[in-house]
């Protein structure tokens, strides 16, 4: 485990420390040529009414029909979600439902939880041009600053599944984005499923499958853990987590090294936990606060550039010397509580973004807690290869679970 994590830290530092944008040696999925691409403009649709505190979680604030695949109807949705402490917040996302002939059978709902995009409002996937599409990874001819769309969308719609895709509160909506706060991301997922039922024309079935990648893997793992108590109305039948950010804190030496590295992630987590848990901001130096401000203004690739350019230490001392920070990080390790739904993990052994050792640690915790976990390791696959290399396995797992909910237990 330690070998993998040290390799991960060394790869980060080698690739990131003080790299000028003219040098093209990015970590997997981080093309510094995209660092100048701004977040998407936030439109009036995402502005929140003055007071939503009296509205139940899952309430639709507003929805608009948008362009989508020819065999489906798509909506952009602003809805009420909730923080771990009960605070009501606005959140946004997409809902797609297939066009089926009269009398046709809906087969359930797929909830897609996306990977890291950033912390600024304009980093919401639903803000992108034509967002109701197949997964499109950042860059390419469109010069997208973030990943948008939904993997295997055509397959889900052809099978009669309704699809929901939360942005997470604070991406698009006017509130702070709680990056890697498991309870909050999970509630955003659950509450968009609830909101989708109130949209006329969806008509989806009751059974739900969750699929998340990276940050979204963290979200769906927590959604499975809190589901029975928080959202018993959402009948989750399967959870698929692709290279999930499941392990936020490891051994002290490893965690200190991770937070000291010049990467975007300490500052995405930092701006999040400062807001979510009101922690001591003196953990961060003046350089660190400059990076925190950059995290709130840009998407992940521009933050990658900004952090690598800012000289000096971002932290005033080791994060593991701060008990309140340690407590906040620990509570966001997935797998400490059981999931009543079987979990299918897919992870590439060549992943340089989420170390395989983090998944190994999660599996040990989750199984000890009583969760049924299956892991599919893929040789020579990186963080962004899983949609190509594991498509059939992912679709088959979800088809089996939604067709016969007890199938995965046999």
Residue ranges of the chain whose pLDDT lies below 70: 1-27, 29, 101-106, 200-205, 404-410
Coarse DSSP helix, strand, coil percentages of the chain, rounded to the nearest 5 percent: 40, 20, 45
From CA 196, how far away is CA 181, in angstroms rounded?
23
Map residue 212 onto helix, strand or coil. strand
Cα atoms in the Cβ-side hemisphere of radius 13 Å centred on 388: 8
| Residue 105 confidence (pLDDT) | 63
The answer to whether residue 130 is domain-embedded is no
| Residue 5 confidence (pLDDT) | 38
The answer to whether residue 12 is domain-embedded is yes
pTM as predicted: 0.91
Single out the residue of 222, 255, 225 nearest to residue 326, CA to CA. Answer: 255
Mean pLDDT, the chain, rounded, equals 89
| Total domain count, the chain | 1
Sequence-distant (6+) residues with CB within 8 A of 172 are 42, 46, 78, 91, 92, 121, 124, 126, 127
The answer to whether residue 315 is domain-embedded is yes
The answer to whether residue 290 is domain-embedded is yes
pLDDT in tens, 95-122: 999 987 545 566 799 999 999 999 999 9
The answer to whether residue 302 is domain-embedded is yes
pLDDT in tens, 47-98: 988 789 999 999 999 999 999 999 899 999 999 999 999 999 999 999 999 9
The answer to whether residue 396 is domain-embedded is no
The answer to whether residue 280 is domain-embedded is yes
What's the Cα-to-Cα distance from 140 to each of 143, 229, 302, 382, rounded to whole Å?
5, 42, 16, 18
What's the Cα-to-Cα distance from 237 to each of 110, 188, 225, 228, rounded to whole Å?
10, 18, 13, 12
Q: How many CB atoms lie under 10 A from the CB of residue 11? A: 16
Single out the residue of 174, 2, 150, 105 nearest to residue 403, CA to CA. Answer: 105
Domain that holds residue 287: 2-30+249-330
Single out the residue of 178, 203, 218, 209 nearest to residue 91, CA to CA. Answer: 178
Is 287 in contact with 310 (CB distance < 8 Å)?
A: yes
Tokens coding 17: 């420390």
The answer to whether residue 19 is domain-embedded is yes
From CA 245, how far away is CA 263, in angstroms rounded?
15
């Amino acid at each position: 485990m330690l070998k993998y994590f040290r390799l991960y830290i060394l790869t980060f530092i080698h690739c990131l420390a003080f790299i000028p944008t003219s040098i093209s040696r990015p970590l997997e999925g981080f093309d510094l040529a995209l660092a100048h691409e701004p977040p998407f403009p936030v439109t009036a649709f995402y502005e929140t009414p003055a007071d939503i505190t009296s509205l139940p979680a899952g309430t639709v604030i507003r929805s608009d029909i948008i362009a989508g695949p020819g065999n489906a109807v798509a909506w952009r949705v602003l809805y009420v979600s909730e923080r771990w402490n009960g605070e009501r917040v606005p959140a946004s996302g997409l809902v797609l439902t297939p066009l089926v002939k009269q009398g046709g059978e809906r087969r359930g709902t797929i909830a897609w939880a996306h990977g890291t995009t950033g912390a600024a409002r304009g980093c919401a996937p639903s803000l992108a041009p034509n967002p109701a599409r197949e997964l499109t990874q950042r860059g390419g001819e469109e010069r997208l600053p973030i990943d948008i769309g939904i993997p295997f969308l055509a397959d889900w719609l052809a099978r009669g599944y309704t699809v929901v895709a939360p942005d997470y509160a604070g991406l698009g909506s006017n509130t702070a984005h709680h990056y890697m706060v498991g309870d909050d991301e999970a509630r955003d997922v659950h509450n968009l499923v609830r909101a989708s039922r109130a949209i006329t024309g969806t008509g989806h079935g009751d059974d739900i499958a969750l699929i998340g990648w990276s940050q979204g893997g963290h979200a769906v793992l927590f959604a499975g853990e809190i589901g029975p108590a928080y959202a018993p109305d959402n009948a989750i039948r399967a959870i698929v987590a692709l290279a999930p950010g499941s392990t936020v804190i490891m051994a002290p030496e490893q965690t200190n090294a991770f937070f000291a590295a010049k990467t975007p992630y300490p500052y995405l987590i930092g701006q999040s936990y400062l807001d979510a848990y009101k922690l001591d901001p003196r953990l961060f130096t003046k350089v660190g606060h400059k990076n925190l401000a950059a995290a709130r203004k840009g998407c992940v690739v521009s933050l990658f550039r900004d952090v690598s350019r800012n000289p000096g230490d971002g932290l005033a001392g080791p994060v593991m010397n701060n008990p309140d920070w340690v407590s906040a990080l620990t509570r966001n390790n997935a797998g400490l509580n059981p999931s009543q739904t079987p979990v299918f993990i897919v992870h590439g052994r060549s992943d340089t973004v989420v170390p395989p050792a983090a998944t190994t640690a999660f599996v040990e915790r989750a199984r000890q807690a009583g969760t049924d976990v299956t892991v599919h390791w893929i040789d020579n696959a990186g963080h962004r290869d899983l949609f190509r290399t594991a498509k059939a396995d992912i679709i088959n797992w979800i088809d089996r679970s939604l067709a016969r909910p007890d199938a995965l237990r046999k």
